[in-house]
Structure 1
Amino acid sequence: MLAGQSQKELFVNEAFALLDALVHPVVESEAASPPARPRDGECWIVSSQAAGEWAAKSGQVAYFETGQWAFAQPVEGLAVYDRAARQFAFFDGAWLRAPQVSEPAGGSTVDVEARDAIGKIVTALRTSGILPQV
Structure 2
Amino acid sequence: MEQTARFQIPLLAPGQVQKELTHNEALERIAMLLCPIVEGPPQAEPPEDPEIGNCYLIEEAALGDWQGEGGSIACFTAGGWRFIAPTEGLSVTDKSSREIFQWRSGGWEAGIARCREVRIDGQNVLRGRQPAIPDPAGGTVVDEQCRAAVAAVLEGLRAHGLIG
Instruction: Using structure 2 for the length normalisation, give the TM-score.
Output: 0.58
With 1-10 and 57-66 compared, the bigger mean Cα shift is at: 1-10
Match of 1:23 in 2: 34
2:109 partner amino acid: L
List structure 1 segments (4+ residues) > 4 angstroms apart after TM superposition: none
Report the CA distance between 1:41 and its aligned residue: 1.2
Confirm or deny: 8 A CA contact 1:40 1:67 kept in the other structure. no
Match of 2:53 in 1: 41
2:102 corresponds to 1:97: no
- Percent sequence identity is 37
Distance in 1 separating the partners of 2:66 and 2:93: 21
1 or 2, which has the higher helix percentage? Answer: 1
1:12 partner amino acid: H
Instruction: Using structure 1 for the length normalisation, give the TM-score.
Output: 0.70
Stretches of structure 2 that go unaligned for 5 or more consecutive residues are 1-11, 113-147, 151-164
1:62 partner amino acid: A
With 45-54 and 69-78 compared, the bigger mean Cα shift is at: 45-54
Stretches of structure 1 that go unaligned for 5 or more consecutive residues are 100-107, 111-134
Larger Rg: 2
Confirm or deny: 8 A CA contact 1:79 1:90 kept in the other structure. yes
Higher RCO (C-alpha under 8 Å, 6+ residues apart)? 1
